[in-house]
């Protein structure tokens, strides 16, 4: 037997010992075990819709009181990174609740991580300042990455930043405690599995057809006001008749289709709708094959069809395509929907305000007024839909407003919606933000006044800042007065 060299044995022993020590000393995820990757079981879709919505609301309630706010005081001004020591303490207190919520998520839902700021600083980027929207989103993203490192699956979370849109009641606008991250449960906009997308969307229509489409079972209760848009507009404009109703049934429109179908149900006996048209933007064709005017994915229901027949066609449209990218071929659907129907009356387009109009270049080919119902028009209107309404001599409708007579507006004339001004420049609508700038400047002035009130001594620097903001405010108000002529009225012609 060959005798082994003692030095060689000592070296081997040292290497083994070093490997063992490295394994013991390597960083561990702390605390608690990682959440296992959740596998979506399509069998869950067979559960009653009301049960799934109740589970979503229960999960929202469980997350409602959880906030990531460093040292329970909130982020420092402009700070966005997660503090590892505070994260460990915070996760010890809240980790089990978040893990449990992830395990119980119904198919198609995700944990929403929302970043917040106080009112200090501009909302949008200004000079070298990133703006509160970016700061709030960066805070949410930092927490998202930390949760991912703790084992929460990335496909079970979504991120958004909302600046100071949701302040804590009872606190001053500049209070540090507003600078936090909160949690909720929302429909997951980032589902990549085509089969799951189609299953979820087809399930939605199946529930409608089965009669389970009660309002509390259909609509996601996360944002009930915005989901009422379609019903509010249609009920407000009962004069429309012999309608052609063209409906976007791509994935982003799913939260609003409950209202469409509920209205269809209520109005079936009144026979005001001659024809329904559903479009899915191309039947899942690759983007490079979607030619302007020939994208496809348009499903026309026979005139005066029954509700069940219309829903059969809607289900087919949803099952065959879910949209892909965000731009939609609204105008192709309008042109084909009204083709060969001279007896059709009002033309209604139910559209996603957040989606660009891929075929806006075809707008001049629409030869009838289009009444555009915009879903998710929270704080702005997509100018492309204003342009379509103007060129067709139609109108734009949000949950609260009916904006007509756009075709009568002349070069330089404008109207205001929420924090934005829409003005005709070089023959087309453009979006300006004078009103938004005014609002931000006023928030700066209020913050300075509060700081001056808090200080015991006079601050020349703050007074100079306030004077500069006052000067800018007067300039903006002067510009707004120049744009005060508004051709956009709120009455139907």
What integer best gives the mean pLDDT of the chain?
Answer: 80
Question: Does residue 215 carry a pLDDT above 50?
Answer: no
Please list, in sequence order, all residues whose beta carbon lies within 8 angstroms of the beta carbon of residue 105, skipping any fewer than 6 positions away. Answer: 38, 59, 111, 156, 185
What's residue 4's pLDDT? 46
Q: What is the pLDDT of residue 287?
A: 74
Quote the pLDDT of residue 297. 93
pLDDT tens across 54-75, in order? 788 899 999 998 999 998 899 9
Closest C-alpha among 240, 248, 203 to residue 376: 248
State the average pLDDT over residues 263-281.
87
Read off the pLDDT of residues 129-178 as tens digits, 9 standing for 90 and up. Answer: 788 989 999 999 999 999 999 999 999 999 999 888 888 888 888 899 99
DSSP labels, 184-233: EEEE-TT---HHHHHHHHHHHHHHHHTT---HHHHS-TTSHHHHTHHHHH
Position 14 pLDDT exceeds 50: no
Task: Name residue, tokens 């706010």.
Answer: 69
More confident residue, 392 or 53: 392
What percent of the chain stands above pLDDT 90? 39
Judged by average pLDDT, the poorest of 110-119, 277-286, 323-332, 413-422 is 323-332
Please give the average per-residue pLDDT across 352-365, as a whole number: 90
Average pLDDT over residues 7-28: 44
Q: Please, which pLDDT band fits residue 348 given cuts at 50, 70 and 90?
A: very high
256 vs 409: which has the higher pLDDT: 409
Which of the residue ranges 220-229, 338-347, 425-434 would you say has the lowest mean pLDDT?
220-229
Check residue 318 and give its pLDDT: 83
The CA distance from 150 to 10, in Å, is 39
Residue with tokens 């205001």: 416
Please report the pLDDT score of residue 458 as a whole number.
76
Average of pLDDT values for 465-481? 82
Residue of 233, 275, 267, 232 whose CA lies nearest to 395: 233
pLDDT at 8: 47
User: Which range is most confident: 207-211, 221-225, 313-317, 376-380?
Assistant: 313-317
Tell me the mean pLDDT in the region 300-309. 93
Question: Strands 370-375 and 347-352: what pairing?
Answer: parallel
The position carrying tokens 């289709």 is: 257
* pLDDT of 405 over the 80 cut: yes
Long-range pairs for 233-239: beta carbons < 8 A, 24 or more residues apart: 233/373, 233/397, 233/398, 233/399, 233/402, 234/263, 234/267, 234/348, 234/373, 235/263, 236/397, 236/402, 237/371, 237/397, 237/402, 237/492, 239/492
Q: Are 393 and 364 in contact (CB under 8 A)?
A: no
How many other C-beta atoms are found inside a 10 Å radius of the C-beta of residue 188? 21
- Which residues on adjacent β-strands are paired with residue 258? none
- Other CB atoms within 10 Å distance of the CB of residue 223: 14
- Distance (Å, whole) CA 307 – CA 261: 9
CA torsion through residues 295, 296, 299, 303, sign: positive
User: How many angstroms from the chain centroid is the CA of residue 259?
Assistant: 18
Residue with tokens 């608690």: 32
Q: What is the DSSP letter of 324?
A: S
pLDDT-above-70 percentage for the chain: 78
Selected residue with higher pLDDT from 206 and 373: 373
DSSP-derived pairing of the beta strands 370-375 and 395-397: parallel
pLDDT at 17 > cutoff 50: no
Dist CA 61 CA 234 (whole Å): 32
Least confident segment among 200-214, 252-266, 291-305 = 200-214
What is the dihedral sign for C-alpha 389, 395, 399, 400?
positive
**Adjacent-strand bridge partners of 181:** 68, 115
What distances in angstroms separate CA 276 from CA 32, 46, 171, one per listed residue? 53, 28, 49
Task: Tell me: pLDDT of 407 over 90.
Answer: yes
The SS3 assignment for 371 reads: strand
Q: Which pLDDT value is given to residue 27?
A: 42
Q: Phi, psi at residue 125, to the nearest 5°?
A: -55, 135
């Amino acid at each position: 037997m060959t005798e082994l060299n003692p030095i060689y044995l000592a070296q081997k022993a040292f290497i083994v010992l070093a490997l063992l020590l490295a394994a013991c000393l390597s960083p561990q995820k702390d605390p608690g075990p990682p959440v296992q990757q959740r596998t979506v079981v399509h069998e869950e879709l067979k559960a009653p819709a009301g049960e799934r919505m109740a589970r979503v609301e229960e999960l929202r309630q469980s997350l409602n009181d959880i906030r990531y706010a460093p040292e329970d005081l909130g982020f420092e001004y402009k700070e966005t990174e997660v503090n590892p020591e505070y994260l460990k303490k915070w996760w010890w207190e809240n980790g089990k609740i978040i893990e449990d919520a992830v395990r119980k998520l119904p198919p198609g839902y995700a944990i929403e991580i929302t970043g917040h700021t106080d009112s200090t600083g501009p909302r949008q980027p200004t000079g070298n300042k990133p703006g509160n929207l970016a700061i709030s989103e960066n805070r949410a993203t930092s927490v998202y990455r930390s949760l991912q490192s703790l084992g929460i699956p990335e496909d079970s979370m979504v991120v958004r930043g909302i600046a100071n849109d949701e302040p804590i009641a009872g606190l001053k606008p500049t209070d540090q405690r507003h600078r936090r991250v909160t949690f909720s449960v929302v429909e997951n906009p980032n589902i990549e599995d085509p089969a799951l997308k189609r299953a979820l969307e087809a399930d939605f229509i199946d529930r409608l057809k089965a009669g389970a489409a009660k309002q509390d079972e259909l609509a996601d209760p996360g944002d009930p006001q915005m989901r009422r848009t379609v019903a509010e507009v249609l009920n407000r404009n009962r004069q429309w008749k012999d309608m052609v109703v063209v409906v976007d049934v791509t994935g982003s429109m799913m939260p609003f289709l409950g209202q469409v179908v509920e209205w269809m149900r209520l109005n079936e006996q009144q026979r005001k709708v001659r024809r329904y048209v559903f479009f899915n933007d191309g039947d899942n064709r690759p983007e490079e094959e979607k030619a302007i005017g020939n994208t496809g994915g348009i499903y026309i229901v026979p005139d005066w069809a029954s509700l069940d027949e219309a829903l059969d066609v809607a289900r087919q449209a949803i099952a065959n395509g879910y949209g892909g990218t965000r731009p939609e071929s609204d105008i192709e659907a309008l042109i084909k929907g009204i083709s060969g129907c001279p007896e059709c009356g009002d033309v209604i387009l139910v559209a996603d305000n957040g989606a660009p109009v891929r075929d806006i270049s075809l707008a001049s080919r629409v030869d009838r007024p289009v009444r555009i119902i915009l879903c998710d028009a929270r704080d702005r209107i997509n100018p492309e839909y204003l342009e379509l309404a103007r060129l067709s001599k139609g109108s734009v409708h949000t949950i609260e407003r009916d904006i007509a007579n756009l075709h009568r507006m002349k070069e330089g004339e404008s109207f205001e919606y929420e924090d934005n001004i829409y003005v005709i420049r070089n023959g087309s609508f453009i979006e300006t933000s004078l009103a938004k700038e005014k609002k931000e400047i006023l928030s700066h002035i209020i913050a300075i006044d509060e700081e001056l009130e808090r200080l015991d001594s006079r601050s020349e620097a703050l007074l100079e800042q306030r004077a500069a903001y006052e000067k800018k405010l007067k300039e903006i108000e002067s510009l707004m007065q120049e744009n005060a002529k508004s051709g956009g009225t709120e009455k139907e012609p």
